[in-house]
Structure 1
Amino acid sequence: MSKRNVDVVVISDVHLGTYGCHAKELLKYLKSIKPKRIILNGDIIDIWQFSKRYWPESHMKVIRKLMKFVSEGVQVHYLTGNHDEMLRKFDGMEMGTFQLQNKLILDLDGKKGWFFHGDVFDVTMQHSKWLAKLGAVGYDTLILINSCVNWMLTTLGHEKMSFSKRIKGKFKDAVKFINSFEQTAAELAIEKGYDYVVCGHIHQAEKREIITDGGSVTYLNSGDWVESLTALEYHDKQWTVFKYDHQDFVKDEIEDGILSDADDLKSKLDINILLQSIKYEIAQ
């Protein structure tokens, strides 16, 4: 399998350990690239919802692949997010080419990039963490139900649909929050003199120039591996948004023996485990 050379890859909001995580797709993507540096920009392992009852082999394979990158000398930066915030007290820890940090500043071909997860802009996180955690459980359940519906839709030859995107689209406050998030990140980056500001958190992949009275900055967001299945790539002095397309990886899937969509869905559909998990999370 030929691998693409990439200077920097930014991945966020993988949420390993939850039903909505698309670990097998992420694994196929990681196997398809040859990066010099990987930035894991928060919420990679969902410690909020982590449970020994649900940790599929595909999730473990993602961890092994990342560890393999480290053993091969690839720079791997793990930036903490809100779902893995308990790791923030270990800020600055280094192990070989692996670094655990809360934020990162990089010089990329003479331009400064500012990388951080972005939950600092979320008012819910700051004042009502219990509500945010409850919402995370509800979101994970919604994603699982959506997976069932999409499996039926594809079986019948119809296109997939996203429940959460439809819900977000119908609520002006959700759109308003995303716009406010991007604007705030841009304004702070311009104030600090950065050329790029790179976030995650809102599960909305983006690349655009934001201009304010104070100047301009390139705003980038890596999206997520729950619904969008996106990452950011920097190569030949250019940033691009990578969007996973199943058709691009069919051959590799057969060769590697990765679970099919139907098999993967089946592994998620133990309703007793799901109900126990929801009950457990609400009780915390």
Structure 2
Amino acid sequence: MKKRKIELAVISDVHLGTYGCHADELIAYLNSIQPKKLILNGDIIDIWQFSKRYFPSAHLKVLRKVIGMASKGTEVYYITGNHDEMLRKFSDTSMGNFKVTNKLVLNLDGKKAWFFHGDVFDMSIQNAKWLAKLGGYGYDLLILINSFVNWCLLRIGREKYSLSKRIKNSVKGAVKYINDFEKTAADLAIENDYDYVICGHIHQPKKERYENKNGSCIYLNSGDWVENLTALEYSFKRWRIYHYNHDRLSPFFADEDLKEMDMNELIASITDKQIEEDSVIEGHLNGVQQDIQPNPEMERQNEKSLDDQSLSQD
């Protein structure tokens, strides 16, 4: 299968080592893309709940796939989160194309993008880590129960149902926490002159422009691979949210934002690359032409030979 070439892909909150992780779907997604950069924005391995008794081969294949992508030229940045916080002691460590860091700033087509997981805003983690870990176990149990419920629903021909989403959307405290999280991240990005702020942590995929009296920025969240099965993709100077359950292996240019993109802007975004390729080809052709410059003496001999053949036929 031909892979989609994109500038940047962002995934977060995979939670390898837990029952809720959709490792097979993630492998299918990673096999469908060929990004120049891959950002792993925290909670990829759930060290909080890691157990030797449960780490399926599919979860190990995800790690092998990521390492394989790095070995083939993709720049992989592993940004640490709260569930894999033990890796923070290795921050700023580089192994070829694989880098571990706590936060990341990239220049994307002249705009500054700020990447971090987002647990720094979570007071329960900062002040009562034991409570956060207990909540993590409870969440994993809820996902396990939800998996059984969905299996039953599919057996009777009903659609899947997300218990955790229902709880988050109905509990005012959870809704307020998510809104506060997004606003805080956006305000900090504007204050520090970032054009994009990209987070994970809250398992809520989103793309939205935020404005305040000091300016504006675009807030993005890559969601998760437990409930939403989402990622962020950047290409043609555009961000999009990739939904595995809806998009599957659909190409990037099916994105609605790109359909509305002005044709001149689209051409401008790829012109530099095309000019570079054309100049290489032109230089090669010029070299070939110089090697096969016509020989006047050879041409006269060929013309005389053709005249002789014509006379003999007459």
TM range (shorter): 0.7 to 0.9
What is the rounded CA distance, in whole Å, between the counterparts of 2:121 and 2:247 in structure 1?
36
Matched, 1:193 2:193: yes
Tell me the residue number matched to 1:100. Answer: 100
In structure 2, the residue matched to 1:71 is 71
Q: Secondary structure at the match of 1:181?
A: helix
Q: Distance in 2 between matches of 1:227 and 1:217?
A: 27
For structure 1, the residue ranges without an aligned partner over 5 or more in a row are: 250-284
Question: Larger Cα Rg: Structure 1 or Structure 2?
Answer: 2
Question: Which residue is 1:130 aligned to?
Answer: 130
Q: Distance in 2 between matches of 1:179 and 1:25?
A: 29
| C-alpha displacement of 1:122 | 0.5
* Greater relative CO (CA pairs within 8 A, separation 6+): 1
* Matched residue type, 1:214: N
Instruction: Note the C-alpha offset of 1:233.
Output: 0.2
Per-residue deviation, residues 43-92 of structure 1 (Å, max 9, x unmatched): 00000000000000100110110010011011000000000011111110
AA matched with 2:23: A
Deviation of 1:247 (Å): 8.2
CA distance in structure 2 between the aligned counterparts of 1:15 and 1:245, rounded to whole angstroms: 18
Give the Å deviation of 1:248. Answer: 3.5
Change (3 A) 1:247 1:75: closer
Cα deviation, residue 227, structure 1 = 0.1
CA distance in 2, matches of 1:186, 1:153: 39
Q: Distance in 1 between matches of 2:169 and 2:192?
A: 32
3-state SS in 1 of match to 2:63 = helix
Counterparts of 1:158 and 1:2 in 2: how far apart (Å)? Answer: 34
1:3 Cα offset (Å): 1.1
Equivalent residue letter for 1:180: D
- Per the TM alignment, residue 38 of structure 1 is displaced from its structure 2 partner at its CA by 0.1
Q: How does 1:62-211 map to 2 (within 5 A)?
A: 62-211=62-211
CA separation in 1, counterparts of 2:232 and 2:195?
16
Q: Give the 3-state SS of the residue equivalent to 1:51 in structure 2.
A: coil
Note the alpha carbon deviations across 1:72-115, whole angstroms, 9 max, x for none. 01100000000001111111000000000000000000000000
When the two chains are superposed, the root-mean-square deviation of aligned CA atoms in Å is: 1.0
Match of 1:23 in 2: 23
**How far apart in 2 are the matches of 1:205 and 1:78?**
19
The residue number in structure 2 matching 1:34 is: 34
Match of 2:226 in 1: 226
CA distance in 2, matches of 1:246, 1:176: 28
Offset of residue 234 of structure 1: 0.1
State the identity %: 64
Q: Distance in 2 between matches of 1:247 and 1:128?
A: 39
Q: CA deviation at 1:246?
A: 7.1
DSSP-derived class of the 2:100 partner:
strand
Indicate whether 1:215 and 2:215 are aligned: yes
SS of match in other structure, 1:203? coil
Instruction: For residue 175 of structure 1, report the CA deviation from its aligned partner.
Output: 0.4
3-state SS of 1:60 partner: helix
- Structure 1 distance, partners of 2:237, 2:122, is 31
Cα distance, 1:213 vs. partner? 1.4
Which structure: greater helix fraction?
Answer: 2
Give the secondary structure class of the aligned counterpart of 1:48.
Answer: helix
After superposition, the C-alpha distances for 1:190-224 in whole angstroms (9 at most, x for unaligned) are 01000000000000000010011111000000000
Q: Does 1:238 align with 2:241?
A: no
Residue segments in structure 2 that go unaligned for 5+ positions in a row: 250-314
Local SS of the residue matching 2:218: strand
Which stretch of the first structure deviates more once superposed, 199-208 or 149-158? Answer: 149-158
Residue 290 of structure 2 corresponds to: none
Secondary structure of 1:137 counterpart? helix
CA distance in 1, matches of 2:247, 2:215: 41
